[in-house]
Chain A
Amino acid sequence: MSVLLEVTDLYKEYPLHGGVLGTRRTVHAVNGISFTVHSGNSLGLAGESGCGKTTTARLVLKLLQPTGGVIRFAGRDIAGLVGDQLLAFRRQAQLVFQNPYEALNPRFTVLRALLEPLIIHRIGTSAAQRVGKVTDALHRVHLNPPELFFLKYPHQLSGGQLQRVVIARALLTDPVLLVADEPVSMLDVSIRAGVLNLMREIEQERSLTSIYISHDLALLRYMCTRTAVMYLGTICEIGPTAELIEHPRHPYTQALVSAVPDPDPEAPRRAVRVADSVPTPFHLPPGCPFADRCPEVMDICRHVRPLLHQVGSVEVACHLYPDDAGQSRESASSAQEAR
């Protein structure tokens, strides 16, 4: 299977000016991450708010410019894309927004909202052909009969219906990559399953590659074959979702997994040993970003940033696990300093 998306050593920093003393600070939103997504696969990005998962998605979609690193899409560096090439990339990589109530222009009817991408991307030669495409897309997301929805405004639709319109809009340009940022978090529990099942069907049907961003590990288990757990702009563990959940290795992944409430009242309750603190992306410690909250913290963790390395079927960035590949930590740390 070919690699569709290859992210190498990606950084995104935001300078912050001001403050009483006019101090300059830098927000390290994404701090040196690398991953690949194969064609037809789905990757989950998990982590708490502020961990950089949404920034990562926006970088991948070229909605933000990285401070450093390379993103290759179908073998091609997206940094230099302009004009028609950029437009072609936008057709191929689409985003499903988190909040369907805000993702649609309240003054556009459903038909107008869905014709828009077709016009921008010059898809279809006649109005009739475009309306036909909109009809098909609405039908595909189970809004039937499609004509009934043409002249509806967003406020006339339920949350579940709105999110289906947002998905239909993303599909209109025949994308190969779909990025979904918390696609159901704004929807009621009884509605979520329908939207998730729909996205799974469409992915299989079109062999789509997808990235799901969610704080909900159970959702990622349902939707994604692989998942990356992020903390303060870094990936602390990446691998098959089932393996991450059943045998979490990084202490942060362990805490995340055991903190998820179990809907079975009979299930044993687990303890989470991670301290509550305010992780700030301003002054990152030289060592492991999780060191301050880690129950297993060792001396080395405060000085040397652990790099991702293979442990069993996953990759973990943690000093607790000896490096299978035999790469010495010293060389890893000096590489870090050289940057």
Chain B
Amino acid sequence: MAQLEIEDLTIQYQTSHGFVHAVRGVTLAVERGRAMGLVGESGCGKTTLARAVIGVLPKNAAILGGTVRFDGEDLLALSADAQNAYRWRRIAMVPQAAMDSLDPVYRVGDQMIETMQLRGGLSREQARDLSQRLFAQVGLESSRTRLYPHELSGGMKQRVVIAMALALSPQVLIADEPVTALDVIVQHQVLRILRELQKTLHLSLLLITHDISVVADLCDDVAVMYAGRIVETGSVRQVFTAPQHPYTMGLRNAFPSLRAGAGPLVPIEGFPPDLARPLQGCAFAPRCPFVVDRCWTEDPALLPAAGGQASACHRASEAALLRTQAGEAFARLSATHLGSTQ
């Protein structure tokens, strides 16, 4: 059994412009002790998904259906008190931009101790000992506990919030864009530490990012999200070397590489659909070079293929062929776009 199993989860927001269907039937499993990268563009629903798992959705969000199981137990069916018992103890989260939420007028060590006293009911001494241990675990000298947030670099602050999330020994850690605002060298160091912690503590990690290079660097498995759905999932090796969904194929040529001999970039023309409007058929169809009639009317289900890989595409069985044509096909689609209305 996977540690964390999300099945057919559907979430919508009520806004002044009507309902926004942020998560549209997501099925996803994070295996015990593995790192799963959840990758997608802004607005695809990845943060909403994470917040639903840890039970901190904003008030205007409603879960319309589906389950979130931790070790087989459905978290969404639990009372608020029972959910509280899970939060931080079993499942912890490093929210987006968490490092900016450190209180500027308190020493970071004190903030950590206070958090642990509140969340874990520890005594001040226990909390102090634990915070020293956690600081060591994320590679910070214990003297840093006496510093104020402005005296720490972005990378150090990010380590502090990671240490806080780990305080009550959770089995699942959700990290939402943990390195986004960091410079590349510091980003590298924070990712190394996350990876080390994940291995040594045998954590099940759900890493949310828009950057597929970060996933390649850190994760075992990956789920690609587009317009509120998972369009492809599998091991990082499978999905990156043999993508089955045209969106994943397109992403490979869409950003520059540091390597020599990289060809010209090929954009994926158009933009993601407006999730406030009802969608018919596959959400990627308007941007897909391999679109067929069926794609406009029928939303493809996420179907398993060989080796645990799964994709939501009507032409998944032709994936091997489509892969060889993807670069040219996206380029051709882009060229016709340039001549006409966008």
Contact = CB atoms under 8 A, between A and B. Distances in A.
Interface of A: 48-49, 142-145, 148, 158-161, 188-194, 196-197, 215-219, 221-222, 242, 245-246, 255-267, 269, 272, 274, 276-278
A262 B267 contact: no
A262 B266 CA distance: 18
Contacts of B214: 261
A188 B255 CA distance: 10
22 contacts: A142-B338, A143-B342, A158-B271, A188-B272, A189-B210, A189-B251, A190-B250, A190-B267, A192-B254, A192-B265, A193-B253, A193-B254, A197-B264, A218-B257, A221-B257, A222-B262, A222-B265, A256-B184, A256-B185, A261-B211, A265-B237, A272-B185
Contact of A257 (B251, B253, B255, B258): B258
Contacts of A161: 342
Contacts, number: 135
B125 to A, nearest CB: 30
A256 B210 CA distance: 20
Interface of B: 41-42, 151-153, 155-156, 183-189, 191, 210-214, 216-217, 236-237, 240-241, 250-258, 260, 262, 264-269, 271-272, 287, 334, 337-342
Nearest to B338: A142
A215 B184 contact: yes
Given A190-B250, A192-B255, A264 B184 contact: no
Contacts of B271: 158-160, 188, 190-191
B267 A272 contact: no
Contacts of B265: 192-193, 196-197, 222
A258 B192 CA distance: 13
A147 to B, nearest CB: 11
A197 B338 CA distance: 12
Contacts of A264: 216, 240
Contacts of A218: 255-258
A307 B184 CA distance: 25
A272 B185 CA distance: 7
Nearest to A160: B271
Contact of B258 (A194, A197, A262): A262
Contacts of B258: 217-218, 221, 245, 257, 260, 262
A70 to B, nearest CB: 30
A276 B217 contact: no
B169 to A, nearest CB: 26
B42 to A, nearest CB: 6
